[in-house]
Structure 1
Amino acid sequence: MEDIMTPDVKIVRWPAESGKLEGFRMQGLPCLIVVARGARVPELAGAHEDWVRQPVEAWELKTRIASLHLKATSRSAAPVVDEDGLLRYGGAVLPLTVSEAAVLRGLVQRRPGMVSRAELAERLLSANRSASQNALDLHMMRLRRKVLSVGLAIETVRGRGFLLKTRSLADPSG
């Protein structure tokens, strides 16, 4: 197993390296869990995890790593803001505040289309009753910085609203 290099897919021996698994999960990293003979299989945290039981053939290990790598590097999957307020995209997981999640859900649901400023302001107000007039601008500024780390960008359509795009297709000026 040591001869298989995986820069973006982490291999974790279970249960011996359970602490490592928790750390990788906190970072949203894809993991292949190699379960010791006789050990109980841990519950998987999502599509970015898979498991095999020891002893494992090299071809199967390589195949599962390749599958996880493909999931982690694929940008074709649509971004999702889940019920816990986590943005999931391209193998990455990004925690959001309640207000950020409400605004970003609107952008994700309409992607690749535009969402009006009024609709996003309404979403923000429903998530945070004490939001001020300038709150949307502040949240958009923070969200722009956050989503760049996972390969997304928020583009302004002057006088109309906002678009959520993949970074490679977005105007770098945002």
Structure 2
Amino acid sequence: MALSAVQSRIVECLIRNPGALVPRADLIACLSEEPSTPTRNALDLHVTRIRRKLAPLGLAVKAVRGRGYRLHASED
């Protein structure tokens, strides 16, 4: 499955900070060129879809409750 344009930007932002916490505000800032800024719920939905697409590649996106997300190699 291919990533959408919005999903690609989110993943690029996470890749620039491998293993590190990327705050929600930073992820939303990565989408500043998009026609509309996503809401918190929209960001969560994009991340859920990204997780499904990255899992077969051995990558996982973990949430840090109330703070943001981090990308790392999956533990499976």
Instruction: Bin the TM-score by the shorter chain.
Output: 0.7 to 0.9
Query: Which whole-Å CA distance do the structure 2 matches of 1:144 and 1:99 have between them?
Result: 14
Amino-acid identity (%): 37
Native 8 Å contact 2:28 2:38 kept in 1: no
Aligned length: 75
Equivalence for 1:128: 34
Q: Which runs of 5+ in 1 are unaligned?
A: 1-93, 170-174
Measure how far apart 1:109 and its partner are: 0.6
Equivalence for 1:148: 55
Matched ranges for 1:1-174 at <5 A: 95-124=2-31, 126-133=32-39, 134-168=41-75
Native 8 Å contact 1:102 1:127 kept in 2: no
Aligned-CA RMSD value: 1.7
Identify which of structures 1 and 2 has the higher relative contact order when contacts are C-alpha pairs closer than 8 Å and 6+ apart: 2
Q: After TM superposition, where is structure 1 displaced by more than 4 Å over at least 4 residues in a row?
A: none
Query: Which whole-Å CA distance do the structure 2 matches of 1:132 and 1:164 have between them?
Result: 20
Measure how far apart 1:137 and its partner are: 1.2
Native 8 Å contact 1:98 1:127 kept in 2: no
Measure how far apart 1:159 and its partner are: 1.4
Measure how far apart 1:127 and its partner are: 4.1
Q: Going by fraction, where is helix more abundant, 1 or 2?
A: 2
Does the residue aligned with 2:60 lie in a helix, a strand or coil?
A: strand
